[in-house]
Amino acid sequence: MHSLGTVTPSREEFLQLAAEHRVIPVSMKVLADSHTPLSIYRALACDDNQQGVPGTYLMESAAPGAAWDRHSFIGVNSMATLSEKDGEAHWIGTPPAGAPQEGTTAEILRQTLEFLGQRAFAEQLPHLASGLVGYIGWDVVRHWEKLPNPPQDDLGLPEMAMNLISDLAVHDNRDGTVTLIANAINKDGQPTGAERAYDDALARLAAMQHALARPVSAEVATAEADWGTQVELDLADKVTNSWDQNEYLATLGKAKEAIVDGEVFQIVVSRRFEVETGADALTVYRMLRLLNPSPYMYLMHFQTPEGEPYQVVGASPEALVTMDAERTVVSHPIAGTRPRGKTPAADQELAEDLLADQKERAEHLMLVDLARNDLAKVCEPGSVEVTRFMAVEHFSHVMHLTSHVQGQVAETSSPYDVLAATFPAGTLSGAPKPRALQLLDEWEPTRRGVYGGVVGYFDLSGRMDVAIAIRTAVLSGGRAYVQSGGGIVADSIDEDERQETVNKAAAPLRAVLAADRLKVS
């Protein structure tokens, strides 16, 4: 049992560990049952104006039983961020001495995970205690697949931003405790360096404990009585699209021709919506959590290598892949959708209709097969199996057909290899994946950026949990960008597919527009 107020490891244990490890999480558990994850974020990660700063983040779940349901993760600060500039990896901040520096983002990510990777130190630590947290955008796939025709990069944001954890607070949503973690780095590998690193970690733990004990000013948000109506009007009047509608519809025709010609079985064509906004990311996150509670909720603050701030706010229903300490990997294909019913009887009727829809079932089966093939590249032969098949899973506003594909990762494969084998999700590309990726590069007018990539973490102990970056807003330069897509098959109806992109983008766009109309006091 991890006693309240006890620092782990002890100084003696730390000095022994420091002989073999570069990064060591030093932790202390406190009882903070009067706090919520949001109040902890405001107490530890925000500036004097209650705004998040680059290198901070909040990851939690608003769906009981989901992967992040037990723990919420509050990134207090990051020692460095692995970002991208001019097509090459670029560190912002001060990474550990000896960390890889020159190469593509994908290559430096792989090398960094190898350089810092280590066994789990203590069973009582949460699944995330040290490592990298952030996003890996869609366009990183170009480092793994030959895609000769990259679209325009009009936003100019880094294709990847992964924060190297320095200080972290982990809220246990069951018992109200908070595990404070200060990652200690012995930069020179000498005993004196280890002593300094431990003392520094103790000081940071004390500072976090002190900040948690201070009262956080209450913040109440209200709006005009007709704010819901106004948001819907804003959704219709203020949101623009980056793709001319006629060109978009013509591309849907190309997609169906490619399917008839046998180039692909299915392909996911997406488009990007955008709107001007003055809302701050934290308020957008609060509204998104209210309007669209989901298994993976995240608020992340970054800066470009040039120092320009931007934020990623999302509510993803779907993990790309998870990997635990026993090297069990699970892929979570989701395909097939119906809205939630207004009554239990209507809900059941819609679920039965979804299960009986042969088009939805065929699309889902295709993606399950794709997940099996992807995992087979990195798992022990014969270990890949479907442990859950085509079950109806209910979310706040919709229901989906979901499956779980599981395998045992081979000793020769790393978490990075698992990511490379499964990225991007077949639900965001189509199948066969290589040709679908090539066609999307030819057809879509701009790079996808964060959309369709992943958001989540790589713990240095080998665990990973990354959600697919959908239902996500990117806030940059006074604008919010939200992208969404639909899976095109041979008999797709153009207007239905167009409307599907509108429906999928609606939740984050509503959150942005609602945040603009809130009155905070």
451 classed as catalytic? yes
DSSP class per residue in 394-413: E-SSEEEEEEEEEEEB-TT-
Which structure tokens are listed for 461?
């102990």
- Of the candidates 319, 421, 321, the residue with the CA atom closest to the CA atom of residue 110: 421
Is the bond into 9 cis (omega within 30 degrees of 0)? yes
Rounded to whole angstroms, the Cα distance separating 372 from 367 reads: 9
Catalytic residue among 448, 487, 501, 510: 487
Answer yes or no: are the C-beta atoms of 188 and 97 closer than 8 Å: yes
DSSP class per residue in 414-442: -HHHHHHHHPSPHHHHEESHHHHHHHHHH
Nearest 5°: the CA angle 207, 210, 214 is 135
382 classed as catalytic? no
Contacts (Cβ under 8 Å, ≥6 apart) of 227: 514, 517
Q: Containing H/E element for 77?
A: strand 71-85
Cβ-based burial of 436 (10 A; exposed 0-12, middle 13-18, buried ≥19): buried
Beta bridge partners of 296: 316
State whether residue 302 is helix, strand or coil.
strand
Answer yes or no: are the C-beta atoms of 285 and 291 closer than 8 Å: no
Catalytic residue among 427, 452, 453, 457: 427
Query: Distances from the Cα of 149 to the Cαs of 92, 138, 398, in angstroms?
Result: 29, 14, 35
Catalytic residue among 272, 327, 400, 510: 400
340 classed as catalytic? no
Contacts (Cβ under 8 Å, ≥6 apart) of 103: 88, 89, 111
262 classed as catalytic? no
Catalytic residue among 471, 472, 486, 501: 471
Cβ-based burial of 111 (10 A; exposed 0-12, middle 13-18, buried ≥19): middle
Catalytic residue among 198, 298, 310, 451: 451
State whether residue 198 is helix, strand or coil.
helix
Rounded to whole angstroms, the Cα distance separating 319 from 329 reads: 12
471 classed as catalytic? yes
Answer yes or no: are the C-beta atoms of 90 and 84 closer than 8 Å: yes
Residues labelled catalytic: 400, 427, 451, 471, 487
